[in-house]
Amino acid sequence: MRKIIKHLAASVLVPVTRWYLRKERTHSTAGVTVQVYPGVFHPGLFSSTRLLADVLNGVDLCDKTFLELGCGTGFLSITAAQRGAMVTASDLSATAVENAKQNARQNHIAIEVIQADLFDGIPPGKFDVIVINPPYYARNPANERELAWYCGENFEYFRRLFARLGGYMNPNSLVLMALTLGCDVETIHSIGTSNGFHFELAKEKRVFFDGRDFVFRIHKPHR
């Protein structure tokens, strides 16, 4: 019965969400107001951004170098900069990059926003904090809007991410990644561990019947 209810609810929620996001929207949380352009990941409708923000609330970001991969509206990057971080925000979507730049100006915050395909386009360097809200469903994105959701049929996003992530970490880097029970967490973890990374659950939250969202802290032992 629960699966039937969940399927029926999803069949209503998905089209309603798409209808809502067809126009530019405004989202405000904790003193940060952002515009959400059509096609850009909404930081208020989906719990992964809030979960990442909850974990970051317990982290001292003052004077820390901060990288957000897949910044969307720039909400987390702007919040980090308000708390004293030196922020680089990146996204593959040109629409998201422009959206994040506009929101930084609107909030009177200076952050560097780069259009980049993962680390391609990001200058070499080490970051104290790296935040990743990735596309985690195994399908090829068909257009720019789907870049925030689909990681490729063979998890290409994660294979490329973990192949180069270590080069942007220092021994004490805090790396946070959001995932959900609805994606193939086991395969993503397997790709990470095959590249020498360890996953530690930092926070989880129950969402939508028996769904769960997670934030993992990712470590790579330095020898």
Q: DSSP characters for 142-169?
A: -SGGGGGTB--TT-HHHHHHHHHGGGGE
Secondary-structure class of domain 2-219 per CATH: alpha beta
Q: CA 163 to CA 157: how far, in whole Å?
A: 10
Q: CA 46 to CA 70: how far, in whole Å?
A: 15
Q: CA 151 to CA 139: how far, in whole Å?
A: 6
Q: CA 152 to CA 138: how far, in whole Å?
A: 5
pLDDT score, position 3: 45
**Per-domain residue ranges for the chain?**
2-219
Task: Collapse the DSSP code of 85 into the 3-class scheme (helix H, G, I; strand E, B; otherwise coil) and give the result.
Answer: coil
Query: How many whole angstroms from its chain centre is CA 197?
Result: 18
Q: Is the dihedral of CA 93, 43, 184, 12 positive or negative?
A: negative
Which tokens is 37 given? 């352009």
pLDDT score, position 164: 97
pLDDT score, position 1: 43
Q: CA 67 to CA 30: how far, in whole Å?
A: 20
Give the burial string for 37-51 (b: 16+ CB within 10 Å, else e). bebbbbbbebbbbbb
Q: What is the CA radius of gyration of the chain?
A: 17
Distance set, CA 209 to CA 105, 128, 167 (Å): 38, 36, 39
- Global model pTM greater than 0.75: yes
pLDDT score, position 173: 96
Edge-to-edge strand list for the sheet holding 86-91: 112-115, 86-91, 65-69, 127-132, 169-180, 211-219, 198-207
pLDDT of the chain, 223 residues: tens digit per residue: 444 434 434 444 445 556 566 788 999 988 899 999 998 999 988 888 999 999 999 999 999 999 999 999 999 999 999 999 999 999 999 999 999 999 999 999 999 999 999 999 999 999 999 999 999 999 999 998 888 889 999 999 999 999 999 999 999 999 999 999 888 999 999 999 999 999 999 999 887 655 789 999 999 886 5
Give the burial string for 71-109 (b: 16+ CB within 10 Å, else e). bbbbbbbbbbbbeebbbbbbbbbebbbebbebbbeebeb
